[in-house]
Amino acid sequence: MSNKRVFYFYNPEVGNFHYGPAHPMKPHRLSVIHSLVLNYGLYNKMQIYRPYRASAHDMCRFHHDEYIEFLQRVTPQNLTTYSKYLNHFNVGEDCPVFEGLYDFCSMYTGASLDGAMKLNKNCCDIAINWSGGLHHAKKFEASGFCYVNDIVIAILELLKYHPRVLYIDIDVHHGDGVQEAFYLTDRVMTVSFHKYGNWFFPGTGDMYEIGADLGRYYSVNVPLKEGIDDFSYSQVFKPVIQHVMDLYQPTAIVLQCGADSLNGDRLGCFNLSTKGHGECVKFIKDLNVPLLTVGGGGYTLRNVARCWTYETSLLIDEEISNIIPEHEYRDYFAPDFLLHPEVVTRQDNANSKQYLELIVKHTYDNLKMVQHSPSVQIQNVPGDALPTEEMNAIALDETDPDVRQPQIELDRRVDAANEFYDDDKDQDFDETR
């Protein structure tokens, strides 16, 4: 069992949203992952929290207030009224307006923000929010299925306590929204491993994008070609990250675990297995730095669920069976019902050994230019984003006495260790608990 304190943030409503029948993004994947986490018994090794829901004020710490106000007001029913704003905020086909859009953003953003604050307060060593990781959203607009950039907002919270934050992105798509947000600062180093070239979305992430002004050399991009496998990926990922750690010495890490870099993804083009993808997560966990782990892309639902369930087990150091347990979504994993299915290669690995060595060398050369562990002047620490216990107490006093369980009380609830059961004896009293 892990000696690390792991907090897992999950809102049971977050998997109920729907981008549209033909849209590749399926929030329902989050319900499937949570069901697997419960049925594998992983809840026994970590604390499960119903997370905070982000307010418009929280989102406006990065996004423009007019954009957030638009997200609050627009609905499928009033699209005609707001039609002139759709192009302005890049809302449409890729980023559609769906029922409950703002609530969805509030839930996944609040979970990342809650995780960041728990890390700041040293309540946990690892915070997990699989609903987050929407790394394409920009300050003024939506992009690539992403509306609010929960990662940027969480990093801004971490920077209140941490002098240097490292952001690592293993999504098949470049983490452009996060890179853009911190392109001019040395307080955050962004490292993205992604497919680049042939007009692959979002079209950014060249190895020569290195940051500017104070942030020069603090943006690290590892552009990869299609078909990369576990071995090749590891040969690049581990040396680059180790060199970053040695030179930058971050005091907190945010890891975006986009599962569209897996073999067989609907939109991806890599050949990573769940174990190869998970090896990156294990490598980061073993660095023993406070870690916020978030989701991201992933458009073959059963593979996303396999991957993030497996990575949850890695983060708590718990071995789990390769046989998917009985649960309500088990039919999704037919016909093999395996956590680690065989990798069926759709395309050859276009990443030659020489090409990968060139990328690693280029990265090393740029990192040598980094000022070793940039320091931060002493300053007052801004207030926490989330309400303090005193404010919560006041809020509870002001709640409607006719409401049996106020929402603030539900949101603060931590699921007890015996909240979920392993077998049919769910009514039996267990004296050992």
In a domain, 428, yes or no: no
CA distance from start to end of the chain: 18
The number of beta carbons lying within 10 Å of the beta carbon of residue 374 is: 16
Residue-wise pLDDT for 388-399, tens only, equals 554 454 445 555
Mean pLDDT, residues 121-144 taken together: 98
Lowest mean pLDDT among 112-126, 338-352, 391-405: 391-405
pLDDT band with cut points at 50, 70 and 90 for residue 384: confident
Q: Does the residue 84 lie in any domain? A: yes
For residue 390, what pLDDT is reported? Answer: 43
pLDDT tens digit sequence for 154-181: 999 999 999 999 999 999 999 999 999 9
pLDDT (0 to 100) of residue 370:
87
Q: In the prediction, which pLDDT does 423 show?
A: 52
The DSSP-derived string for 314-352 is: HHTT----SBPPP-TTGGGGTTT-BSSPPP---S-----
Binding residues: 94, 144, 171, 173, 260, 299
Residues 6+ apart with CB under 8 A from 52: 110, 111, 113, 114, 386, 411
Structural domain includes residue 416: no
Which token pair is 26? 């399926």
**Tokens standing for 94?**
């890729």
Q: Which of 63, 136, 162, 194 is catalytic?
A: 136
Cβ neighbourhood burial of 400 (10 Å; 0-12, 13-18, 19+): exposed
pLDDT at 383: 74
Q: Which helix (H) or strand (E) holds 359?
A: helix 353-367
Residue list for the binding site for a divalent metal cation: 171, 173, 260
Asked about 136 being catalytic, the answer comes back as yes
> Residue 310 maps to which CATH number?
3.40.800.20
Q: How many domains does the chain have?
A: 1
Q: Tell me what percent of the residues of the chain surpass a pLDDT of 70.
A: 86
| Window from 57-61, 180-184, 228-232, 379-383 with minimum mean pLDDT | 379-383
Mean of the per-residue pLDDT values for the chain?
91
pLDDT digit string, tens, across residues 223-242: 999 999 999 999 999 999 99
- 429 residue type, one letter: F
Position 151 in a domain: yes
174 near 261, Cβ under 8 Å? no
Domain assignment present for residue 351? The answer is: yes
Residue 263 inside a domain? The answer is: yes
Report yes or no on 396 lying in a domain: no
Amino acid, single-letter form, for residue 430? D
Alpha-carbon 162 to chain mean position: 19
pLDDT at residue 289 is higher than 50: yes
Bridge partners for 127 per DSSP: 7, 292
Residue 42 pLDDT greater than 60, yes or no? yes
Question: 188-226 in b/e burial notation, b at 16+ Cβ within 10 A?
Answer: bbbbbbbbbeeebbbebbeeebbbeeebebbbbbbbbbb
How far apart, in whole angstroms, are the C-alpha atoms of residue 144 and residue 142?
Answer: 7
DSSP string of 185-245, one letter each residue = -SSEEEEEEEE-STT-TT----TT----GGGTT-EEEEEE-TT--HHHHHHHHHHHHHHHH
Please check whether residue 405 lies inside any domain of the structure.
no
Q: Which domain holds residue 184?
A: 6-389
Each residue of 3-22: pLDDT tens digit? 899 999 999 999 999 999 99
Q: Give the position of tokens 């609530």.
A: 103
Amino acid letter for position 133: G
The reported pLDDT for the residue numbered 10 is 98
Helix (H, G, I), strand (E, B) or coil at 355: helix
Lowest mean pLDDT among 156-160, 270-274, 342-346: 342-346
C-alpha span between 232 and 292 (Å, rounded): 26
pTM for the model: 0.89
Q: Using one digit for the tens of pLDDT, what is the confidence trace for 256-271?
A: 999 999 999 999 999 9
